[in-house]
Structure 1
Amino acid sequence: MATTLLAAAVAAALFLFLALLPYGRTALRAGLLSAAVLVCLWIGHYFDLLGYGARGEDTARVRAFLVLLALSLAWFLATSLQVLRRSFPAHWPGWSWPAVVLVTLLVIGFGVWRMVTL
């Protein structure tokens, strides 16, 4: 259970980091760098660089797949919110963007919690 919570925390941290970055070149660089790292992790999982398949640890391989899937979804949602941020009205107060990100994280967290506790 601790591994699952750690994976969820890392995915949530990635989401918050990418979604709350100021819009511009910094967010673009961070998004591209994290995408490159995710591609490398997916390639490593595909070629089984940790050797889970050779040792017969199929459960560990499935867990690694789910962690990579969670990280990929966090990256996708955060970059999608950065694209949405361009159309955000300039006259809205400064606290409104972090509120949008927090509500998004709460909605996703509630959905994941409902799926896990079925």
Structure 2
Amino acid sequence: MTTDIATTQAPSSVQLIDFDDAQIVPGIVNDTYFLIVSGMKPYQNMKVTLLPRTYIRQPEYWEVEVAGAVYGIPLPVMTPYHEFLPLEGSRGTKGILVIGKSTTCKLEFPVAN
């Protein structure tokens, strides 16, 4: 039996989740940046991860998904989360597009003074 991977559903234990705030902040070393995303996760034991997409060529806005994974029995308690991602190898020419379950946010890199 063969399965077409394009038509299979993603595992229900991993899903996109919403976020309340996303920002790009400069690091202490020149030309380094971090993406910081925060919000409320629906399960206390959910692990939130920022997942950059893979590209062959550098896009204008690099897409980063906000994903949550539940391990074990889900504990349905709204809990705040704060995650960060170093943007060393995941930088668009203009910025980052953060993708959540029901919202997206286009962020530009800060302009140097």
TM-score, normalised by the number of residues in structure 2? 0.25
TM-score, normalised by the number of residues in structure 1? 0.24
Q: Which has the higher strand share?
A: 2
Q: Which has the higher contact order (CA 8 A, sep 6+)?
A: 1
